Structure formats: structure tokens, C-alpha cells
Structure 1
Amino acid sequence: MSNLLNSLTTELRRGTLTLAVLSQLRTPQYGYSLVQLLERSGIVIEQSTLYPLLRRLEKQELVTSSWDTTESRPRRYYVLSEYGEDIFRELKMEWEKTSNELYILLKGEEEDGSN
């Protein structure tokens, strides 16, 4: 893959990762469980990307976190806040609208015979 394509692909994924992460935080998750959930859906996210994203989402008050110390290894769990649930619903609707619009545009490209 060329450097330009890599850069554009990364840019394209950046916004979708936020939505993907929010979608999985309707139930409490810790970092590794979140990585696994996303990977099962085909979305690969490095921990070096995930944790800064989770910290940013917490700073934006979209998620809250708490430590679970009942296991031998303490884990920090993240979950959507009430505000985060509202934002997630709005973002999801925006994503669906944009996806449909893009699908129509790209489908039109195929029908024109140009790729």
C-alpha cells in the first residue's frame, strides 16, 4: 500500500473507531475485552490507539471509568455515561445517513461503469 493510501485509510478509520468503541460501551468493558469485542467484528485496534481514545472520551464526559479490584488483577472498566448514550445515538444516526449517501454515490460510480 502506498504512503498516501495508508494515510487516507488511517484518516478514514479514525472517526469510525470512535463510533465503534462507543457502540461497545453500552455495557462495562475493560481495555482487553474491548479489543476482543472489536476484533470479533473485524475491527483491529491497537492498545496504543485504544487507551488514549478512552481517556479522551472520558475527558469529554462520554464515558466513565471505575476500577474493579475484586479480581487478583485490578481492571479499569469503561461504560457510556448518560450523555455518552445520547451522543452515541446521534452519531449512529449521522453515520447511517452518511453511509447511505456514500453508498448511493459509490453505487452510481459502478453503474456509470467507472470505478
Structure 2
Amino acid sequence: MTEAPERLQRMVMEVRRGALTLAVLLALAEPHYGYSLRKKLARQGLEIDEGTLYPLLRRLEEQGLLSSYWQQEEGRKRRFYQIDSSGEIALAAMRREWQSLNLVIGQLAEKIQ
């Protein structure tokens, strides 16, 4: 019996994973270190835990979509991340796809109601 809820949870996580990537790229139009990025997303209503955020940031940087640098702030050395030109190109494509999907899904959902 527990297989169905686990399968549903995996499906929800798949949707969330893509949305988080888009949200992080959008939020990094201005530089943030991990904690400040988490707080910015949370203020917008998107909670993300450290165990998800930091691997995502590293993966996006490895893919060449983000750049990072170390900076001293509030007496601590922090790693700041910001979207770079390759990330901007990817973000534009992701936004177009998101908007297109959102439109179609919205239309389908209206027909069901």
C-alpha cells in the first residue's frame, strides 16, 4: 500500500526539481550567498533546504550557468553566486518553456473544473 504514496511523492519532487532550478536562476540576477538566497526564496514562499540548495548551486556552476566568488561580509568569508551569460541564455529558454507549459496546463485545468 505504501508504494502509491511514495510514487506520488517522487512525481511531485520531479516537478519541484525543475521549478527550483528556474527559481534559483531567476533569484541569482543579483549576487547571493547560500543563506541569503534561501531567505530570498523563502520570502517569496519557496522553501528550500540546504541539502537541496547547495548541491543545486554546485551543479549549476559546473554546468557553466553560474559564477561564484568569495567575499568577506559581516566578518565572514562567504561564497557568492550569480547567473552568468550562459545562465541568462538557459534562463530565457527555461522561462519560455515554463510560460508555454503553464498556459497549456492552465487551459487543461479550466476544462476539468
Q: TM > 0.5 between the two?
A: yes
- Segments of structure 2 that go 5 or more residues without pairing to the other structure are none
Sequence identity of aligned pairs in percent?
42
Q: Which runs of 4+ in 1 moved over 3 A?
A: none
Secondary structure of 1:74's partner?
A: strand
Write the letter of the residue equivalent to 1:43. Answer: L
Of the structure 1 ranges 101-110 and 59-68, higher mean CA displacement relative to structure 2 is found in: 101-110
Matching residue of 2:37: 34
- Segments of structure 1 that go 5 or more residues without pairing to the other structure are 111-115
Secondary structure of 2:70's partner?
A: strand
Rounded Cα–Cα distance in structure 2 between residues aligned with 1:60 and 1:4: 29
- State yes or no: 1:101 paired with 2:104: yes
Where do 1:29-108 residues align within 5 Å?
Answer: 29-69=32-72, 71-108=74-111
CA, structure 1 residues 70+11, in 2 after alignment: closer, same or farther (shift >3 Å)? closer
Report the count of equivalent residues.
110
CA, structure 1 residues 36+70, in 2 after alignment: closer, same or farther (shift >3 Å)? closer
- State yes or no: 1:9 paired with 2:12: yes
Q: CA RMSD in A?
A: 1.4
- How far 1:4 moved relative to its partner? 2.8
Write the letter of the residue equivalent to 1:3. Answer: E
Deviations 1:25-55 (A, max 9, x none): 0000100011011111111101010000000
Matching residue of 1:113: none
Rounded Cα–Cα distance in structure 1 between residues aligned with 2:53 and 2:73: 24
